[in-house]
Structure 1
Amino acid sequence: MECDVNPETPDAPSADVLAVVPRLAQLSNAVNRGRLAERAAEAAGLALDRPAVGVLVTLHVADRPLRIGEIAERMQVVGPHVTRQVQALERRGLVHRVADPHDRRASLIEPTQQGAQAANRYAGSLVGWFAEAIAGWTDEERADLGRLLGRLVDDVTAHLGRLEEG
């Protein structure tokens, strides 16, 4: 894909910013080709597909039970997709529905104890893999990565939010 960027335009992105995009794509491709999510699910003993694991982890890291729409928004997918995944996770005893205290007609979804333990095993496997990948880095390099990656995610998320609003 070719990008038509005129470096002489005053508001054109700098070369260092432009260099980030292909590196992000390279990282994404490496992680996907390496089947990292699938390997982590296997290591966690989860016989679930990637979308179901995504729903389970989203619920596990949430600070409260979530509505289907909230899960979909956090995962950036459509509600019916999440509904199917939640139903599959319910059948396996990994999530359950609770009444919404603000609207008794609605239900919220939260992980069961078994679901929370499975999500912890999955996350532990992912963290372990990344820790091994950067084991040769200094403490300062790891701290820089965490700080800058966190900032990138926050800024990109905020920028996308503003785009959706406007």
Structure 2
Amino acid sequence: MTAPDLPGVLGDLVAVNHRLTRLAATATGSTESSAVWRTLSVLRDVGPMRLGELARVSRVSQPTMTKLVHALHERGWIRRIADPSDARAWLISADRHGIAALDAWHAELVGALAPAFAHLDRDELATLARAVEIVRAQLERVRDAATTGAAA
């Protein structure tokens, strides 16, 4: 058996993550758009940002994000706050109600996925936990590098 290569492992990781996300969404029966959860996750993880930047990071068009922000604002899941660097502009921020909804959705996903992974033994579960920590650390490293302008 040959040693795994980085491009192959990363490609497999992305693909299996997409499959896991689709399985979770199907298992919950949720009809909520994934863009809602992605947007709230971005706001939670990155912090307040302008509409255009939020659209770019959430991978939707600006008109789509405008509609999404309007709907999230009506639910009380986001807040519009004045941009301290430009009094004419607004920043979009996650509200505590939106974070609570996101947390509830995550709990629902975990509950829906748990039966599919209940057979894992301790070593397999530890391996998955370690893999999650490795991926999380790399993502934080990339985020921190982008924030400081350093090379990732």
Unaligned runs of 5+ in 1: 1-13, 159-166
Q: Percent identity?
A: 27
Task: State whether residues 27 and 113 of structure 2, in contact with CA within 8 Å, keep that contact through their aligned partners in structure 1.
Answer: no
Q: What TM-score comes out, normalization by structure 2 length?
A: 0.66
Q: Could you say if the C-alpha distance between residues 108 and 157 of structure 1 is closer, same or farther in structure 2, counting changes exceeding 3 Å?
A: closer
Task: State whether residues 41 and 122 of structure 1, in contact with CA within 8 Å, keep that contact through their aligned partners in structure 2.
Answer: no
Task: State whether residues 60 and 119 of structure 1, in contact with CA within 8 Å, keep that contact through their aligned partners in structure 2.
Answer: no
Q: What TM-score comes out, normalization by structure 1 length?
A: 0.62
Unaligned runs of 5+ in 2: 145-152
Q: How does 1:110-129 map to 2 (within 5 A)?
A: 110-128=93-111
Give the whole-Å Cα distance in 1 for the aligned partners of 2:105 and 2:52: 24
Q: Could you say if the C-alpha distance between residues 19 and 137 of structure 1 is closer, same or farther in structure 2, counting changes exceeding 3 Å?
A: farther
Q: Deviations over 1:27-60 (max 9, x none)?
A: 14532542x2365584xxxx63111221122222
Query: Cα RMSD over matched residues?
Result: 3.6
Deviation at 1:155, TM superposition (A): 7.6
Q: From the two aligned structures, give the one with the greater helix fraction.
A: 2
Deviation at 1:148, TM superposition (A): 2.7
Q: Could you say if the C-alpha distance between residues 137 and 153 of structure 1 is closer, same or farther in structure 2, counting changes exceeding 3 Å?
A: farther
Q: How does 1:40-119 map to 2 (within 5 A)?
A: 42=30, 48-62=32-46, 64-119=47-102
> Size of the alignment, in residue pairs?
142
Q: Deviations over 1:100-124 (max 9, x none)?
A: 1221100011223321210121233
Runs of 4 or more, structure 1, over 4 Å off, are: 38-41, 127-132, 151-158
Match of 1:161 in 2: none
Give the whole-Å Cα distance in 1 for the aligned partners of 2:81 and 2:73: 12
Give the whole-Å Cα distance in 2 for the aligned partners of 1:98 and 1:156: 27
